[in-house]
């Protein structure tokens, strides 16, 4: 009995440490694997509105977007490993491996076109098989999000793809009101794109619209990249691009927006309308003190007159009940404010500041996991940032 007890005391911790698969006998695979019905198909039987997009028709005219270009894709004269990578190939040797890998997601890219088609289809190949994240749906991670201008020239949402496989070839919308109009398709936020084409029925007019010049450049974290928007057009960078009628370059790198000098080198190569530096969620007071001023000076040396906007980190929406988290935000904000004040005192011009306390609102409902914005949080963030951006760009304030 003593020997058995010693054996159990020795073996039990090892067994508990093993993965579950190692603790159980393998189950033989069936000779003929069963084909599972997609959950979306099962749900669609109960509510057709939740069904996936219908397949695209066979007789369409397809237009490859690489023939006219995408906004949010700078450094166009430099080689790329994939056309829809955010960074040129040379960046792989200068930025960190994590930033490089994230730069291969198509976050923030926008394709514009005009057509009078009454149905629009999308055909694209995703780079990664993971279509969704634990806190973010496939429509945001891997979807293509379509907007159009209405009769008054305002951007209005149309429809989003609902990916279920890496290759998506679907009808995104049909029965459109007749007449020509301008469209904008936002690309996936947390997936890469290998190819993308827009399909319209034969005989429909179609014109690809070239990317607009001088983007607003956002350099930041997972929030800038778009976590956890329900669809790509709901990120604050996209919202602000529509409101300000300007192109946007989204350089959000999930968990890795840290005011890196190597990224700064790439920023200075862009003919930007303004730079928005929103890296604090991935930093701490010491890192802010070390890196903020050098990054601003790096940009200012190359771009003497381009506005630079520093943004405090948003507060966790539950920091009201987490004292340590609230203190961390206080310290982070103080470090950025000190760097901003020192830069202004040293004579840096065209430098702006956005406080972070109210970026998600004040009711705790602006995030889906305390840290990453919900669609509501992104809209509120855009509301807070818009007046400062307009002032930096020399535009009149807008009443909302």
Asked if the model's pLDDT at residue 15 lies above 60, the reply is: no
Average pLDDT, the chain: 91
217 within some domain: yes
First and final C-alpha spacing in the chain: 79
| Domain membership of residue 252 as a residue range | 212-394
Q: How confident is the model at residue 400 (pLDDT cuts 50, 70, 90)?
A: low
Residue 344 tokens, joined? 């202004």
Task: Quick: pLDDT tens for 115-143.
Answer: 999 999 999 999 999 999 999 999 999 99
| 130 plus 163 within the same structural domain | yes
Give me the phi and psi of 100, to 5 degrees please: -60, -50
pLDDT attached to residue 267: 98
pLDDT attached to residue 50: 83
| 381 plus 236 within the same structural domain | yes
Axis-axis angle for helices 236-244, 375-392 (nearest 10)? 40
- CATH number of the domain to which 142 belongs: 2.60.120.260
pTM above 0.75, yes or no: yes
| 108 plus 223 within the same structural domain | no
65 within some domain: yes
If one counts the domains in the chain, the total is 2
Task: Quick: pLDDT tens for 191-212.
Answer: 999 999 999 999 999 999 999 9
Per-residue pLDDT averaged across 71-77, rounded?
98
Q: Which of 158, 182, 211 is at the close of a domain?
A: 211
pLDDT attached to residue 315: 98
Q: Any idea which of 114-118, 158-162, 199-203, 393-397 has the lowest mean pLDDT?
A: 393-397
| 125 plus 216 within the same structural domain | no
pLDDT attached to residue 40: 62
Q: How confident is the model at residue 39 (pLDDT cuts 50, 70, 90)?
A: low
CA distances from 49 to 41, 55, 132, 139, 232 (A): 11, 15, 20, 15, 20
Of residues 106, 201, 101, 99, the one with CA closest to residue 145: 106
pLDDT attached to residue 389: 98
| 200 plus 256 within the same structural domain | no
| 174 plus 98 within the same structural domain | yes
Asked if the model's pLDDT at residue 242 lies above 70, the reply is: yes
| 111 plus 256 within the same structural domain | no
Residue 196 tokens, joined? 């993308």
pLDDT attached to residue 51: 87
Per-residue pLDDT averaged across 292-301, rounded?
98
25 within some domain: no
- CATH number of the domain to which 222 belongs: 3.40.50.1110
pLDDT attached to residue 26: 34
């Amino acid at each position: 009995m003593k020997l058995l007890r010693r054996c159990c005391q020795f073996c039990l911790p090892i067994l508990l440490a093993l993965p579950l698969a190692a603790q159980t006998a393998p189950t033989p695979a069936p000779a003929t694997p069963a084909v599972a019905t997609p959950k979306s198909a099962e749900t669609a039987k109960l509510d057709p509105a939740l069904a996936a997009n219908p397949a695209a028709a066979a007789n369409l005219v397809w237009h490859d977007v690489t023939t006219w270009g995408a906004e949010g894709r700078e450094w166009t004269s430099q080689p790329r490993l994939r056309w829809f990578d955010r960074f040129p190939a040379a960046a792989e040797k200068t930025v960190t491996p994590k930033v490089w890998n994230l730069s291969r997601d198509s976050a923030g890219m926008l394709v514009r076109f005009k057509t009078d088609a009454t149905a629009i289809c999308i055909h694209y190949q995703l780079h990664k098989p993971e279509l969704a994240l634990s806190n973010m749906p496939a429509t945001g991670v891997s979807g293509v999000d379509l907007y159009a201008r209405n009769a008054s020239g305002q951007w209005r949402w149309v429809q989003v793809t609902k990916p279920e496989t890496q290759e998506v070839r679907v009808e995104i919308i049909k029965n459109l009101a007749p007449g020509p109009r301008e469209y904008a398709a936002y690309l996936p936020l947390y997936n890469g794109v290998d190819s993308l084409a827009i399909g319209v029925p034969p005989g429909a007019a179609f014109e690809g619209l070239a990317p607009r010049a001088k983007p607003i450049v956002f350099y930041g974290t997972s929030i800038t990249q778009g976590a956890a928007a329900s669809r790509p057009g709901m990120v604050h960078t996209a919202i602000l691009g529509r409101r300000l009628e300007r192109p946007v370059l989204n350089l959000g790198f999930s968990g890795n927006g840290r005011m890196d000098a190597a990224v700064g080198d790439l920023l200075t190569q862009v003919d930007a309308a303004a730079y928005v530096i929103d890296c604090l969620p991935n930093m701490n007071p010491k890192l802010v003190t070390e890196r903020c001023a050098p990054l601003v000076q790096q940009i200012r040396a190359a771009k003497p007159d381009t506005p630079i906007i520093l943004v405090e980190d948003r507060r966790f929406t539950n920091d009201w009940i987490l004292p340590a988290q609230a203190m961390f935000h206080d310290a982070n904000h103080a470090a950025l404010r000190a760097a901003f004040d020192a830069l202004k005192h040293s004579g840096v011009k065209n430098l702006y500041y956005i406080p972070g306390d109210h970026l998600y609102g004040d009711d705790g409902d602006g995030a889906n996991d305390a840290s990453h914005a919900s669609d509501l949080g992104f809209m509120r963030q855009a509301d807070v940032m818009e007046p400062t951006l307009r002032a930096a760009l020399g535009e009149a304030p807008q009443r909302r």
